[in-house]
Structure 1
Protein backbone atom coordinates (compact mmCIF):
# COMPACT_ATOMS: atom_id res chain seq x y z
CA UNK A 1 0.00 0.00 0.00
CA UNK A 2 1.45 3.37 -0.95
CA UNK A 3 2.35 5.78 1.78
CA UNK A 4 1.03 9.31 2.06
CA UNK A 5 4.28 10.65 0.57
CA UNK A 6 3.98 8.35 -2.42
CA UNK A 7 0.36 9.31 -2.95
CA UNK A 8 1.28 13.00 -2.90
CA UNK A 9 4.07 12.41 -5.46
CA UNK A 10 1.69 10.50 -7.76
CA UNK A 11 -0.90 13.29 -7.53
CA UNK A 12 1.77 15.90 -8.25
CA UNK A 13 2.99 14.04 -11.37
CA UNK A 14 -0.59 13.57 -12.56
CA UNK A 15 -1.27 17.30 -12.15
CA UNK A 16 1.91 18.16 -14.06
CA UNK A 17 0.88 15.88 -16.93
CA UNK A 18 -2.54 17.52 -17.05
CA UNK A 19 -1.00 20.99 -17.09
CA UNK A 20 1.32 19.98 -19.97
CA UNK A 21 -1.60 18.57 -22.00
CA UNK A 22 -3.64 21.71 -21.36
CA UNK A 23 -0.75 23.91 -22.50
CA UNK A 24 -0.32 21.85 -25.68
CA UNK A 25 -4.05 22.06 -26.47
CA UNK A 26 -4.01 25.82 -25.90
CA UNK A 27 -0.99 26.17 -28.20
CA UNK A 28 -2.69 24.16 -30.95
CA UNK A 29 -5.83 26.31 -30.66
CA UNK A 30 -3.73 29.48 -31.03
CA UNK A 31 -1.99 28.08 -34.15
CA UNK A 32 -5.32 27.10 -35.75
CA UNK A 33 -6.77 30.53 -34.95
CA UNK A 34 -3.80 32.27 -36.59
CA UNK A 35 -4.05 30.10 -39.73
CA UNK A 36 -7.80 30.63 -40.06
CA UNK A 37 -7.44 34.38 -39.57
CA UNK A 38 -4.70 34.58 -42.18
CA UNK A 39 -6.85 32.60 -44.63
CA UNK A 40 -9.79 34.92 -44.11
CA UNK A 41 -7.56 37.93 -44.74
CA UNK A 42 -6.37 36.44 -48.02
CA UNK A 43 -9.93 35.62 -49.12
CA UNK A 44 -11.24 39.06 -48.22
CA UNK A 45 -8.32 40.79 -49.93
CA UNK A 46 -8.79 38.65 -53.02
CA UNK A 47 -12.48 39.43 -53.13
CA UNK A 48 -11.80 43.15 -52.81
CA UNK A 49 -9.28 42.98 -55.65
CA UNK A 50 -11.75 41.09 -57.86
CA UNK A 51 -14.49 43.62 -57.21
CA UNK A 52 -12.13 46.48 -57.96
CA UNK A 53 -10.77 45.05 -61.23
CA UNK A 54 -13.45 42.82 -62.77
CA UNK A 55 -15.26 44.15 -65.85
CA UNK A 56 -18.84 42.96 -65.63
CA UNK A 57 -19.64 44.64 -68.93
CA UNK A 58 -17.81 41.99 -70.98
CA UNK A 59 -18.09 38.25 -71.26
CA UNK A 60 -14.97 36.12 -71.10
CA UNK A 61 -14.80 35.95 -74.91
CA UNK A 62 -15.26 39.71 -75.25
CA UNK A 63 -12.57 40.42 -72.68
CA UNK A 64 -10.16 38.07 -74.44
CA UNK A 65 -10.90 39.69 -77.78
CA UNK A 66 -10.40 43.17 -76.33
CA UNK A 67 -7.08 42.11 -74.83
CA UNK A 68 -5.97 40.62 -78.14
CA UNK A 69 -7.00 43.56 -80.29
CA UNK A 70 -5.32 46.04 -77.93
CA UNK A 71 -2.05 44.09 -77.84
CA UNK A 72 1.05 46.15 -78.72
CA UNK A 73 1.66 46.41 -82.46
CA UNK A 74 4.72 47.33 -84.49
CA UNK A 75 4.22 50.32 -86.80
CA UNK A 76 6.91 51.36 -89.30
CA UNK A 77 7.96 54.97 -88.79
CA UNK A 78 9.29 55.68 -92.29
CA UNK A 79 6.86 57.46 -94.61
CA UNK A 80 7.01 56.05 -98.13
CA UNK A 81 7.30 58.47 -101.04
CA UNK A 82 4.37 58.41 -103.43
CA UNK A 83 4.88 56.27 -106.56
CA UNK A 84 5.11 57.60 -110.09
CA UNK A 85 3.38 56.22 -113.13
CA UNK A 86 5.73 54.43 -115.57
CA UNK A 87 4.09 56.43 -118.36
CA UNK A 88 2.35 59.76 -117.71
CA UNK A 89 -1.33 60.00 -118.61
CA UNK A 90 -2.73 62.23 -121.30
CA UNK A 91 -3.92 65.60 -120.05
CA UNK A 92 -6.83 65.97 -119.77
CA UNK A 93 -8.58 62.59 -119.53
CA UNK A 94 -12.20 61.49 -119.75
CA UNK A 95 -13.63 59.46 -116.88
CA UNK A 96 -16.63 57.15 -116.60
CA UNK A 97 -18.85 57.24 -113.53
CA UNK A 98 -21.47 54.50 -113.86
CA UNK A 99 -24.62 54.21 -111.70
CA UNK A 100 -24.05 51.46 -109.13
CA UNK A 101 -26.57 48.80 -108.14
CA UNK A 102 -27.03 50.40 -104.72
CA UNK A 103 -28.37 53.90 -104.17
CA UNK A 104 -26.16 56.51 -102.56
CA UNK A 105 -25.63 56.10 -98.82
CA UNK A 106 -26.23 59.84 -98.53
CA UNK A 107 -29.28 61.14 -100.34
CA UNK A 108 -28.77 63.69 -103.09
CA UNK A 109 -25.17 62.71 -103.96
CA UNK A 110 -24.30 63.28 -107.63
CA UNK A 111 -21.53 61.90 -109.79
CA UNK A 112 -18.93 64.48 -110.90
CA UNK A 113 -18.38 65.81 -114.42
CA UNK A 114 -16.56 63.14 -116.40
CA UNK A 115 -15.12 64.99 -119.41
CA UNK A 116 -11.92 67.03 -119.58
CA UNK A 117 -10.57 66.00 -116.18
CA UNK A 118 -7.02 67.32 -115.54
CA UNK A 119 -4.28 64.74 -114.86
CA UNK A 120 -1.57 67.06 -113.55
CA UNK A 121 -1.02 68.93 -110.32
CA UNK A 122 -2.13 68.35 -106.73
CA UNK A 123 -5.01 69.47 -104.56
CA UNK A 124 -4.92 69.91 -100.78
CA UNK A 125 -7.76 68.74 -98.56
CA UNK A 126 -8.32 68.93 -94.81
CA UNK A 127 -10.50 66.62 -92.77
CA UNK A 128 -11.36 67.91 -89.32
CA UNK A 129 -12.00 64.87 -87.17
CA UNK A 130 -12.61 64.21 -83.50
CA UNK A 131 -9.01 62.97 -83.20
CA UNK A 132 -7.49 66.07 -84.87
CA UNK A 133 -6.81 67.41 -88.36
CA UNK A 134 -5.90 65.12 -91.23
CA UNK A 135 -4.19 67.01 -94.04
CA UNK A 136 -4.33 65.28 -97.43
CA UNK A 137 -2.47 65.84 -100.67
CA UNK A 138 -4.43 64.54 -103.68
CA UNK A 139 -2.26 63.77 -106.73
CA UNK A 140 -4.03 64.01 -110.08
CA UNK A 141 -1.07 62.52 -111.98
CA UNK A 142 -1.62 59.21 -110.18
CA UNK A 143 -5.39 58.96 -110.42
CA UNK A 144 -7.20 61.89 -112.04
CA UNK A 145 -10.67 60.25 -112.06
CA UNK A 146 -10.33 59.25 -108.40
CA UNK A 147 -9.19 62.71 -107.32
CA UNK A 148 -12.00 64.27 -109.37
CA UNK A 149 -14.56 62.08 -107.58
CA UNK A 150 -13.03 62.60 -104.12
CA UNK A 151 -13.00 66.39 -104.50
CA UNK A 152 -16.60 66.34 -105.73
CA UNK A 153 -17.74 64.28 -102.74
CA UNK A 154 -15.96 66.65 -100.34
CA UNK A 155 -17.68 69.65 -101.90
CA UNK A 156 -21.04 67.90 -101.57
CA UNK A 157 -20.42 67.33 -97.85
CA UNK A 158 -20.54 63.57 -98.38
CA UNK A 159 -17.87 62.75 -95.79
CA UNK A 160 -19.13 65.15 -93.11
CA UNK A 161 -20.33 63.31 -90.02
CA UNK A 162 -19.08 59.90 -91.20
CA UNK A 163 -16.97 57.48 -89.18
CA UNK A 164 -14.09 55.21 -90.14
CA UNK A 165 -15.60 51.75 -89.83
CA UNK A 166 -12.59 49.44 -90.03
CA UNK A 167 -8.95 49.29 -88.98
CA UNK A 168 -6.40 46.56 -89.57
CA UNK A 169 -3.44 46.21 -87.22
CA UNK A 170 -1.78 42.96 -88.31
CA UNK A 171 -0.65 42.12 -91.85
CA UNK A 172 -2.56 45.00 -93.46
CA UNK A 173 -2.16 48.15 -91.40
CA UNK A 174 -4.75 50.59 -92.65
CA UNK A 175 -7.74 52.69 -91.55
CA UNK A 176 -10.79 52.45 -93.83
CA UNK A 177 -13.29 55.30 -94.11
CA UNK A 178 -15.77 56.90 -96.52
CA UNK A 179 -19.01 54.97 -95.83
CA UNK A 180 -21.81 57.10 -94.34
CA UNK A 181 -23.58 53.93 -93.14
CA UNK A 182 -20.55 52.83 -91.09
CA UNK A 183 -21.16 49.24 -92.19
CA UNK A 184 -18.59 48.86 -94.95
CA UNK A 185 -21.23 48.46 -97.65
CA UNK A 186 -22.25 52.05 -98.42
CA UNK A 187 -21.22 54.08 -101.45
CA UNK A 188 -22.07 57.24 -103.43
CA UNK A 189 -24.48 55.62 -105.91
CA UNK A 190 -21.92 55.42 -108.72
CA UNK A 191 -18.79 53.41 -109.52
CA UNK A 192 -15.63 53.92 -111.57
CA UNK A 193 -12.58 52.02 -112.75
CA UNK A 194 -9.26 51.39 -111.05
CA UNK A 195 -6.33 53.64 -111.95
CA UNK A 196 -3.48 51.25 -111.26
CA UNK A 197 -0.45 49.65 -112.95
CA UNK A 198 1.31 46.29 -112.40
CA UNK A 199 4.36 47.66 -110.53
CA UNK A 200 2.28 49.54 -107.95
CA UNK A 201 3.14 48.89 -104.30
CA UNK A 202 1.90 50.46 -101.05
CA UNK A 203 3.46 52.10 -98.00
CA UNK A 204 2.99 54.29 -94.96
CA UNK A 205 1.18 57.53 -95.76
CA UNK A 206 -0.69 56.39 -98.89
CA UNK A 207 -4.34 57.12 -99.60
CA UNK A 208 -5.91 54.33 -101.65
CA UNK A 209 -9.38 53.38 -102.81
CA UNK A 210 -11.17 50.38 -101.35
CA UNK A 211 -13.12 48.26 -103.82
CA UNK A 212 -15.02 45.00 -104.17
CA UNK A 213 -13.00 43.65 -107.08
CA UNK A 214 -14.40 43.68 -110.60
CA UNK A 215 -18.14 43.69 -111.12
CA UNK A 216 -19.15 40.13 -112.01
CA UNK A 217 -21.45 41.25 -114.84
CA UNK A 218 -19.58 44.13 -116.43
CA UNK A 219 -16.01 43.19 -115.39
CA UNK A 220 -15.47 46.85 -114.59
CA UNK A 221 -14.17 48.55 -111.45
CA UNK A 222 -16.19 49.05 -108.28
CA UNK A 223 -14.56 52.15 -106.79
CA UNK A 224 -16.95 54.50 -105.02
CA UNK A 225 -16.42 56.56 -101.87
CA UNK A 226 -14.63 54.19 -99.52
CA UNK A 227 -10.88 54.72 -99.13
CA UNK A 228 -8.15 53.68 -96.76
CA UNK A 229 -5.15 55.29 -95.14
CA UNK A 230 -2.07 53.07 -95.06
CA UNK A 231 -0.21 53.78 -91.81
CA UNK A 232 2.12 50.75 -91.82
CA UNK A 233 2.68 47.48 -93.65
CA UNK A 234 0.47 46.76 -96.66
CA UNK A 235 1.50 43.78 -98.77
CA UNK A 236 -1.27 44.17 -101.34
CA UNK A 237 -1.66 43.21 -104.98
CA UNK A 238 -1.70 46.28 -107.27
CA UNK A 239 -5.50 46.41 -107.40
CA UNK A 240 -6.14 49.49 -105.26
CA UNK A 241 -5.87 52.98 -106.70
CA UNK A 242 -3.38 55.27 -104.94
CA UNK A 243 -4.55 58.87 -105.21
CA UNK A 244 -2.60 60.84 -102.60
CA UNK A 245 -1.03 60.95 -99.15
CA UNK A 246 -1.62 61.89 -95.52
CA UNK A 247 0.80 64.20 -93.69
CA UNK A 248 3.04 62.92 -90.87
CA UNK A 249 1.08 64.65 -88.12
CA UNK A 250 -2.08 62.96 -89.33
CA UNK A 251 -0.33 59.59 -89.47
CA UNK A 252 0.63 59.90 -85.82
CA UNK A 253 -3.04 60.44 -84.98
CA UNK A 254 -3.92 57.28 -86.90
CA UNK A 255 -1.14 55.41 -85.06
CA UNK A 256 -2.88 56.20 -81.77
CA UNK A 257 -6.13 54.80 -83.13
CA UNK A 258 -4.32 51.64 -84.25
CA UNK A 259 -2.68 51.12 -80.87
CA UNK A 260 -6.10 51.26 -79.20
CA UNK A 261 -7.06 48.12 -81.14
CA UNK A 262 -10.36 47.01 -82.65
CA UNK A 263 -13.33 44.77 -81.90
CA UNK A 264 -12.48 42.05 -84.44
CA UNK A 265 -15.82 42.42 -86.23
CA UNK A 266 -14.25 41.99 -89.70
CA UNK A 267 -12.24 38.88 -88.78
CA UNK A 268 -11.39 36.48 -90.29
CA UNK A 269 -12.19 38.13 -93.64
CA UNK A 270 -11.44 40.78 -94.75
CA UNK A 271 -9.73 41.26 -91.37
CA UNK A 272 -9.56 43.85 -88.63
CA UNK A 273 -12.57 45.45 -86.99
CA UNK A 274 -14.24 48.62 -85.82
CA UNK A 275 -11.69 50.86 -84.08
CA UNK A 276 -11.92 50.88 -80.30
CA UNK A 277 -11.04 54.57 -80.53
CA UNK A 278 -13.68 56.21 -82.69
CA UNK A 279 -12.65 58.27 -85.72
CA UNK A 280 -15.39 60.64 -86.85
CA UNK A 281 -15.05 63.16 -89.67
CA UNK A 282 -16.64 66.46 -88.68
CA UNK A 283 -15.99 68.41 -91.90
CA UNK A 284 -13.90 67.98 -95.05
CA UNK A 285 -12.74 70.84 -97.25
CA UNK A 286 -10.52 71.40 -100.29
CA UNK A 287 -8.26 74.34 -101.01
Structure 2
Protein backbone atom coordinates (compact mmCIF):
# COMPACT_ATOMS: atom_id res chain seq x y z
CA UNK A 1 0.00 0.00 0.00
CA UNK A 2 2.74 2.39 0.82
CA UNK A 3 4.51 2.20 -2.53
CA UNK A 4 1.22 2.75 -4.35
CA UNK A 5 0.40 5.86 -2.33
CA UNK A 6 3.87 7.26 -2.83
CA UNK A 7 3.53 6.82 -6.57
CA UNK A 8 0.18 8.60 -6.59
CA UNK A 9 1.63 11.46 -4.61
CA UNK A 10 4.55 11.73 -7.05
CA UNK A 11 2.20 11.72 -10.03
CA UNK A 12 -0.02 14.37 -8.43
CA UNK A 13 3.04 16.46 -7.61
CA UNK A 14 4.30 16.21 -11.19
CA UNK A 15 0.90 17.17 -12.57
CA UNK A 16 0.80 20.16 -10.22
CA UNK A 17 4.29 21.24 -11.28
CA UNK A 18 3.32 21.00 -14.95
CA UNK A 19 0.20 23.11 -14.31
CA UNK A 20 2.25 25.73 -12.47
CA UNK A 21 4.83 25.78 -15.26
CA UNK A 22 2.16 26.30 -17.90
CA UNK A 23 0.58 29.02 -15.76
CA UNK A 24 3.96 30.75 -15.40
CA UNK A 25 4.43 30.64 -19.20
CA UNK A 26 0.98 32.13 -19.75
CA UNK A 27 1.64 34.85 -17.17
CA UNK A 28 4.95 35.82 -18.81
CA UNK A 29 3.25 35.93 -22.21
CA UNK A 30 0.45 38.10 -20.83
CA UNK A 31 2.95 40.50 -19.30
CA UNK A 32 4.83 40.78 -22.59
CA UNK A 33 1.58 41.54 -24.42
CA UNK A 34 0.57 44.15 -21.86
CA UNK A 35 4.03 45.67 -21.95
CA UNK A 36 3.89 45.92 -25.73
CA UNK A 37 0.42 47.45 -25.60
CA UNK A 38 1.62 49.94 -23.00
CA UNK A 39 4.52 51.02 -25.16
CA UNK A 40 2.25 51.42 -28.18
CA UNK A 41 -0.24 53.40 -26.11
CA UNK A 42 2.55 55.62 -24.82
CA UNK A 43 3.72 56.30 -28.37
CA UNK A 44 0.17 57.17 -29.38
CA UNK A 45 -0.24 59.50 -26.40
CA UNK A 46 3.01 61.26 -27.19
CA UNK A 47 2.04 61.62 -30.86
CA UNK A 48 -1.42 62.92 -30.04
CA UNK A 49 0.03 65.33 -27.48
CA UNK A 50 2.48 66.67 -30.01
CA UNK A 51 -0.26 67.11 -32.56
CA UNK A 52 -2.42 68.90 -30.02
CA UNK A 53 0.40 71.25 -29.11
CA UNK A 54 0.96 71.89 -32.80
CA UNK A 55 -2.68 72.92 -33.22
CA UNK A 56 -3.81 69.91 -35.23
CA UNK A 57 -7.06 69.80 -33.27
CA UNK A 58 -7.76 73.53 -33.39
CA UNK A 59 -11.03 74.52 -35.12
CA UNK A 60 -10.40 74.61 -38.85
CA UNK A 61 -10.40 78.14 -40.18
CA UNK A 62 -12.10 78.42 -43.52
CA UNK A 63 -9.87 80.01 -46.12
CA UNK A 64 -12.04 82.45 -47.98
CA UNK A 65 -11.42 82.70 -51.70
CA UNK A 66 -14.37 85.01 -52.24
CA UNK A 67 -13.50 88.29 -53.92
CA UNK A 68 -13.64 91.38 -51.73
CA UNK A 69 -16.09 94.20 -52.35
CA UNK A 70 -14.63 96.97 -54.47
CA UNK A 71 -17.61 99.34 -54.19
CA UNK A 72 -20.66 99.62 -51.98
CA UNK A 73 -23.90 101.14 -53.21
CA UNK A 74 -26.15 102.78 -50.63
CA UNK A 75 -29.89 102.40 -51.32
CA UNK A 76 -31.96 105.58 -51.53
CA UNK A 77 -35.48 106.17 -50.26
CA UNK A 78 -37.57 105.83 -53.42
CA UNK A 79 -40.80 106.50 -51.52
CA UNK A 80 -39.71 110.07 -50.80
CA UNK A 81 -38.25 110.83 -54.22
CA UNK A 82 -40.33 110.10 -57.29
CA UNK A 83 -37.51 111.38 -59.52
CA UNK A 84 -35.35 108.32 -58.86
CA UNK A 85 -35.26 105.63 -61.53
CA UNK A 86 -34.78 102.01 -60.46
CA UNK A 87 -32.45 100.10 -62.77
CA UNK A 88 -30.88 97.92 -60.09
CA UNK A 89 -27.36 98.36 -58.73
CA UNK A 90 -23.92 97.67 -60.18
CA UNK A 91 -21.91 94.68 -58.97
CA UNK A 92 -19.80 95.15 -55.85
CA UNK A 93 -17.06 92.64 -56.71
CA UNK A 94 -14.72 91.90 -59.59
CA UNK A 95 -14.79 95.49 -60.82
CA UNK A 96 -11.93 97.08 -62.75
CA UNK A 97 -9.51 98.99 -60.50
CA UNK A 98 -6.79 99.92 -62.98
CA UNK A 99 -6.47 101.52 -66.38
CA UNK A 100 -8.96 103.75 -68.14
CA UNK A 101 -12.29 103.49 -69.93
CA UNK A 102 -13.68 105.63 -72.73
CA UNK A 103 -17.01 107.38 -72.33
CA UNK A 104 -18.63 108.59 -75.56
CA UNK A 105 -21.45 111.14 -75.44
CA UNK A 106 -23.48 111.88 -78.56
CA UNK A 107 -25.58 115.04 -78.23
CA UNK A 108 -27.70 117.26 -80.45
CA UNK A 109 -25.02 119.96 -80.24
CA UNK A 110 -22.36 118.72 -82.64
CA UNK A 111 -19.58 116.15 -82.75
CA UNK A 112 -19.55 113.49 -80.03
CA UNK A 113 -17.74 114.25 -76.80
CA UNK A 114 -15.31 111.56 -75.65
CA UNK A 115 -13.77 111.33 -72.21
CA UNK A 116 -11.20 109.10 -70.57
CA UNK A 117 -12.47 107.75 -67.23
CA UNK A 118 -9.72 107.24 -64.65
CA UNK A 119 -10.62 103.82 -63.27
CA UNK A 120 -7.62 103.70 -60.95
CA UNK A 121 -8.51 106.98 -59.19
CA UNK A 122 -12.30 106.65 -59.26
CA UNK A 123 -13.19 102.95 -59.65
CA UNK A 124 -16.71 103.25 -58.24
CA UNK A 125 -17.64 106.27 -60.34
CA UNK A 126 -16.32 104.50 -63.43
CA UNK A 127 -18.23 101.34 -62.51
CA UNK A 128 -21.43 103.33 -62.00
CA UNK A 129 -21.09 105.12 -65.35
CA UNK A 130 -20.39 101.83 -67.08
CA UNK A 131 -23.32 100.08 -65.43
CA UNK A 132 -25.83 102.88 -66.10
CA UNK A 133 -24.60 103.26 -69.68
CA UNK A 134 -25.23 99.56 -70.17
CA UNK A 135 -28.81 100.16 -69.00
CA UNK A 136 -29.14 103.13 -71.44
CA UNK A 137 -29.87 105.26 -68.41
CA UNK A 138 -28.48 108.42 -70.00
CA UNK A 139 -29.95 108.01 -73.47
CA UNK A 140 -32.44 110.71 -74.54
CA UNK A 141 -31.93 112.79 -71.40
CA UNK A 142 -31.24 116.52 -71.19
CA UNK A 143 -28.36 118.37 -69.57
CA UNK A 144 -30.54 120.59 -67.44
CA UNK A 145 -28.12 123.23 -66.10
CA UNK A 146 -25.24 125.42 -67.20
CA UNK A 147 -23.49 126.56 -64.05
CA UNK A 148 -21.63 129.83 -63.61
CA UNK A 149 -18.56 127.88 -62.47
CA UNK A 150 -18.10 126.94 -66.12
CA UNK A 151 -19.70 123.50 -66.31
CA UNK A 152 -22.74 121.84 -67.84
CA UNK A 153 -24.71 119.50 -65.60
CA UNK A 154 -26.04 116.25 -67.08
CA UNK A 155 -27.18 112.77 -66.09
CA UNK A 156 -30.56 113.41 -64.48
CA UNK A 157 -33.41 111.80 -66.46
CA UNK A 158 -35.94 113.89 -64.54
CA UNK A 159 -34.19 117.20 -65.33
CA UNK A 160 -34.92 118.44 -61.82
CA UNK A 161 -31.54 118.05 -60.17
CA UNK A 162 -33.11 115.53 -57.80
CA UNK A 163 -33.11 112.50 -60.07
CA UNK A 164 -30.79 109.58 -60.58
CA UNK A 165 -30.64 105.85 -59.83
CA UNK A 166 -31.91 104.32 -56.60
CA UNK A 167 -28.40 104.06 -55.13
CA UNK A 168 -25.61 106.42 -54.14
CA UNK A 169 -21.87 106.16 -53.55
CA UNK A 170 -19.26 108.29 -51.82
CA UNK A 171 -16.80 110.80 -53.27
CA UNK A 172 -13.56 109.64 -54.86
CA UNK A 173 -10.54 111.53 -56.13
CA UNK A 174 -11.59 114.90 -54.73
CA UNK A 175 -8.80 117.47 -55.18
CA UNK A 176 -7.33 118.96 -52.03
CA UNK A 177 -7.74 122.68 -51.57
CA UNK A 178 -4.27 124.04 -50.68
CA UNK A 179 -3.86 125.86 -47.39
CA UNK A 180 -3.67 129.66 -47.77
CA UNK A 181 -0.09 130.85 -47.69
CA UNK A 182 0.85 133.52 -45.16
CA UNK A 183 3.07 135.12 -47.77
CA UNK A 184 0.37 135.20 -50.44
CA UNK A 185 -0.25 138.66 -51.76
CA UNK A 186 -3.71 140.20 -51.39
CA UNK A 187 -5.95 139.33 -54.30
CA UNK A 188 -3.90 136.25 -55.23
CA UNK A 189 -5.87 133.87 -57.42
CA UNK A 190 -6.98 130.47 -56.21
CA UNK A 191 -5.37 127.50 -57.94
CA UNK A 192 -7.26 125.80 -60.76
CA UNK A 193 -8.46 122.46 -59.42
CA UNK A 194 -10.77 121.68 -62.34
CA UNK A 195 -9.14 122.46 -65.70
CA UNK A 196 -11.23 122.82 -68.83
CA UNK A 197 -12.39 119.37 -69.95
CA UNK A 198 -12.56 117.88 -66.44
CA UNK A 199 -15.36 115.36 -65.84
CA UNK A 200 -16.71 115.11 -62.29
CA UNK A 201 -19.63 113.63 -60.41
CA UNK A 202 -22.03 115.90 -58.59
CA UNK A 203 -24.16 114.66 -55.71
CA UNK A 204 -27.36 115.83 -54.13
CA UNK A 205 -26.53 116.30 -51.31
CA UNK A 206 -22.80 116.79 -51.86
CA UNK A 207 -20.82 113.60 -51.33
CA UNK A 208 -23.76 111.41 -52.28
CA UNK A 209 -23.18 110.62 -55.94
CA UNK A 210 -25.50 108.91 -58.37
CA UNK A 211 -25.75 109.51 -62.12
CA UNK A 212 -25.33 113.28 -62.39
CA UNK A 213 -22.05 114.68 -63.69
CA UNK A 214 -20.35 117.91 -64.75
CA UNK A 215 -18.41 118.66 -67.91
CA UNK A 216 -16.20 121.72 -67.39
CA UNK A 217 -15.93 123.96 -70.47
CA UNK A 218 -13.56 126.38 -68.73
CA UNK A 219 -11.05 126.32 -65.87
CA UNK A 220 -12.51 126.43 -62.38
CA UNK A 221 -10.56 127.64 -59.35
CA UNK A 222 -12.85 127.17 -56.32
CA UNK A 223 -12.47 129.41 -53.31
CA UNK A 224 -11.78 127.89 -49.91
CA UNK A 225 -14.94 126.29 -48.58
CA UNK A 226 -16.61 125.91 -51.98
CA UNK A 227 -18.18 122.57 -52.91
CA UNK A 228 -15.64 120.04 -54.12
CA UNK A 229 -16.42 117.53 -56.86
CA UNK A 230 -14.98 114.07 -57.44
CA UNK A 231 -12.87 113.97 -60.59
CA UNK A 232 -13.73 110.98 -62.79
CA UNK A 233 -11.77 111.79 -65.93
CA UNK A 234 -11.13 114.32 -68.67
CA UNK A 235 -12.50 115.14 -72.09
CA UNK A 236 -10.25 113.85 -74.87
CA UNK A 237 -12.39 114.74 -77.88
CA UNK A 238 -15.24 117.10 -78.73
CA UNK A 239 -13.95 120.11 -76.82
CA UNK A 240 -15.39 122.32 -79.56
CA UNK A 241 -18.82 120.84 -78.90
CA UNK A 242 -18.36 121.41 -75.18
CA UNK A 243 -17.31 125.03 -75.82
CA UNK A 244 -20.40 125.54 -77.95
CA UNK A 245 -22.60 124.20 -75.16
CA UNK A 246 -20.95 126.60 -72.73
CA UNK A 247 -22.05 129.55 -74.87
CA UNK A 248 -25.75 128.66 -74.79
CA UNK A 249 -27.68 131.41 -72.95
CA UNK A 250 -29.44 130.53 -69.72
CA UNK A 251 -32.79 131.46 -68.23
CA UNK A 252 -34.13 131.29 -64.72
CA UNK A 253 -34.88 127.74 -63.65
CA UNK A 254 -37.31 126.29 -61.11
CA UNK A 255 -34.97 127.08 -58.21
CA UNK A 256 -34.77 130.74 -59.18
CA UNK A 257 -31.19 130.51 -60.46
CA UNK A 258 -30.28 131.51 -63.98
CA UNK A 259 -28.91 128.11 -64.93
CA UNK A 260 -31.45 126.54 -67.26
CA UNK A 261 -30.15 126.41 -70.86
CA UNK A 262 -32.31 128.37 -73.27
CA UNK A 263 -31.64 125.71 -75.89
CA UNK A 264 -32.06 121.99 -75.30
CA UNK A 265 -28.90 119.98 -74.73
CA UNK A 266 -29.94 116.39 -75.31
CA UNK A 267 -27.76 113.33 -74.79
CA UNK A 268 -28.78 110.98 -77.58
CA UNK A 269 -26.58 108.18 -76.31
CA UNK A 270 -23.84 107.61 -73.76
CA UNK A 271 -21.61 104.54 -73.84
CA UNK A 272 -18.64 103.34 -71.81
CA UNK A 273 -16.06 100.84 -73.03
CA UNK A 274 -12.80 99.48 -71.67
CA UNK A 275 -9.74 100.85 -73.45
CA UNK A 276 -8.06 97.49 -74.03
CA UNK A 277 -8.97 93.82 -74.32
CA UNK A 278 -6.71 93.11 -71.37
CA UNK A 279 -8.83 95.24 -69.05
CA UNK A 280 -11.24 93.56 -66.66
CA UNK A 281 -14.88 93.30 -67.79
CA UNK A 282 -16.77 96.54 -67.37
CA UNK A 283 -19.73 96.78 -65.02
CA UNK A 284 -22.10 97.18 -67.94
CA UNK A 285 -20.88 93.90 -69.39
CA UNK A 286 -21.65 92.18 -66.07
CA UNK A 287 -25.13 93.58 -65.73
Q: Which residue of 2 aligns with 1:206?
A: 198
Runs of 4+ in 1 over 4 A off after TM superposition: 103-108
| 1:177 correspondence with 2:135 | no
The CA RMSD measured in Å over matched residues stands at 2.4
Which one is further off, 255-264 or 140-149? 255-264
Q: Which residue of 1 aligns with 2:104?
A: 126
Contact 1:93 1:118 in 2 (8 A): no
**Aligned to 1:232, what secondary structure does the other structure show?**
coil
- How many Å apart are 1:277 and its aligned residue? 2.4
Matches within 5 A, 1:70-85: none
**Aligned to 1:141, what secondary structure does the other structure show?**
coil
Contact 2:109 2:244 in 1 (8 A): no
Q: Deviations over 1:85-121 (max 9, x none)?
A: xxxxxxx861110111236846541110012322210
In structure 2, relative to structure 1, the CA distance for the partners of 1:165 and 1:199 (3 Å cut) is same
TM, length-normalised to structure 1: 0.59
Matches within 5 A, 1:96-107: 96-102=72-78, 105=83, 107=85
TM, length-normalised to structure 2: 0.59
Q: Deviations over 1:140-181 (max 9, x none)?
A: 01200000001100000000010000002x4x0000000001
| 1:245 correspondence with 2:234 | yes
Query: How far apart are the structure 1 equivalents of 2:174 and 2:234?
Result: 18
Q: Which residue of 2 aligns with 1:165?
A: 144
In structure 2, relative to structure 1, the CA distance for the partners of 1:175 and 1:139 (3 Å cut) is same
Between Structure 1 and Structure 2, how many residues are aligned? 186
Structure with larger Rg: 2
* Structure 1 gap segments, 5+ residues each: 1-91, 215-220
* Structure 2 gap segments, 5+ residues each: 1-67, 178-192, 274-287
